[in-house]
């Protein structure tokens, strides 16, 4: 036994190693709140969190700089979580989905600040995608399939495909063999591309962006149905926000297209500019939601 200790002691160590007593523990300091209140920019998980950071951190930084405050990009897994943050005034500005806006506007008066303009339009579509070799040509052909929804509150990814199923006098639960939530559009696209799901309905803007970034996706998926146009996912602010604050934020957004830095960021996001839009552009979406009896 003594020999073992002797042998154990001859484990070579060329230089003295630092020593840490792991049992000597302290309570961690609470994460300090910064003196200056940061500009809390919430982005609903239209695309994956990593994708959101890639796409929106520059925009958040830009807006914060314009307002002279540090930026804080806030993400949550679901649209509902973002909506509740907006309802409680926990965020200053949020990029939400059409479905979340329709729901939030109705529930707690979420306020429309601006909307992106792409090719002079303020609309987007819900596009039904399947694998390239899938013979399905419409939602009807996807009976008994595995379907990937994006977010429970997503208009293009959940509400509209549920509406299509409803038109077939079915519910998603009975119509599909199985369905699941991916909580972002790019993951739903991937789920179809990888064969995890037979079909999915996605945001046309996200799909266009994904196809542009990953052209090889065209070899894997195809669009078999495009919805009528709906109001584009808007930029919103919490209810009861001061008019001044709201005006500052709106101004910063709207004037982005008039300076090179703003233009570059907009170009990266695939947006021409931010414009003020009328709440009425979301009426068609509202009609679909109400025909489903609201967002579950």
Whose Cβ is closer to another protein: residue 44's or residue 232's? 44
Whose Cβ is closer to another protein: residue 91's or residue 129's? 91
Instruction: Pick from 41, 46, 49, 197 the residue near another protein by CB under 8 A.
Output: 49
Per the DSSP assignment, residues forming a β-bridge with 111 are: 237
Q: Find the part of the chain contacting another protein (CB under 8 A) among 27-35, 116-124, 224-232, 251-259.
A: 27-35
Distance CA 17, CA 10 (A): 15
Calculate the CA 101 to chain-centre distance.
Answer: 13
When asked if residue 40 is in the footprint of another protein (CB under 8 A), the reply is: no
Distance linking the first and last C-alpha atoms of the chain = 69
DSSP 8-class letter at 121: B
Answer yes or no: are the C-beta atoms of 207 and 201 closer than 8 Å. no
When asked if residue 226 is in the footprint of another protein (CB under 8 A), the reply is: no
Whose Cβ is closer to another protein: residue 42's or residue 164's? 42
Distance CA 97, CA 102 (A): 9
Instruction: Pick from 25, 36, 68, 120 the residue near another protein by CB under 8 A.
Output: 25
CA-CA distances (angstroms) from residue 127 to 205, 208, 228, 270, 275?
A: 10, 10, 10, 18, 24
When asked if residue 75 is in the footprint of another protein (CB under 8 A), the reply is: yes
Whose Cβ is closer to another protein: residue 1's or residue 243's? 1
Instruction: Pick from 9, 28, 242, 293 the residue near another protein by CB under 8 A.
Output: 28
Tell how strand 93-95 and strand 235-237 pair up: antiparallel
Closest approach of Cβ 59 to another protein, in Å? Answer: 15
Q: What is the CA radius of gyration of the chain?
A: 24
When asked if residue 22 is in the footprint of another protein (CB under 8 A), the reply is: yes
When asked if residue 258 is in the footprint of another protein (CB under 8 A), the reply is: no
When asked if residue 9 is in the footprint of another protein (CB under 8 A), the reply is: no
Distance CA 63, CA 174 (A): 46
When asked if residue 243 is in the footprint of another protein (CB under 8 A), the reply is: no
Binding site for another protein (CB under 8 A): 1, 3-4, 7-8, 11, 17-28, 31, 45, 48-50, 52-53, 57, 74-77
């Amino acid at each position: 036994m003594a020999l073992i200790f002797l042998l154990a002691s001859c484990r070579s160590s060329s230089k003295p190693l630092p020593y840490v007593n792991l049992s000597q523990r302290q309570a961690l300091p609470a994460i300090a709140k910064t003196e200056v209140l940061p500009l809390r920019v919430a982005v609903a998980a239209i695309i994956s969190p990593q994708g959101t950071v890639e796409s929106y951190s520059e925009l958040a930084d830009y807006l914060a700089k314009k307002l002279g405050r540090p930026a804080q990009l806030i993400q949550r897994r679901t649209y509902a979580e973002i909506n509740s943050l907006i309802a409680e005034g926990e965020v200053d500005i949020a990029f939400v989905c059409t479905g979340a806006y329709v729901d939030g506007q109705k529930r707690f008066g979420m306020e429309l600040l601006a909307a992106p303009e792409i090719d002079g339009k303020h609309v987007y579509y819900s596009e039904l995608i399947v694998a390239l070799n899938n013979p399905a040509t419409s939602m009807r052909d996807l009976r008994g399939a595995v379907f990937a929804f994006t977010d429970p509150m997503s208009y293009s990814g959940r509400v509209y495909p549920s509406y299509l199923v409803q038109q077939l006098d079915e519910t998603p639960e009975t119509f599909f063999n199985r369905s699941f939530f991916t909580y972002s559009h790019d993951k739903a696209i991937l789920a179809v591309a990888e064969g995890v799901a037979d079909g999915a309905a996605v945001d046309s803007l996200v799909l266009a962006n994904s196809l542009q970034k990953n052209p090889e996706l065209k070899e894997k998926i195809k669009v078999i149905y495009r919805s009528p146009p709906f109001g584009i996912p808007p930029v919103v602010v919490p209810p009861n926000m001061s008019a001044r604050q709201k005006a500052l934020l709106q101004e910063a957004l709207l004037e982005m297209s008039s300076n090179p830095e703003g233009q570059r960021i907009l170009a990266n996001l695939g947006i021409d500019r931010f414009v003020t839009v009328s709440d009425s552009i979301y009426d068609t979406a509202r009609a679909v939601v109400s025909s489903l009896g609201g967002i579950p």
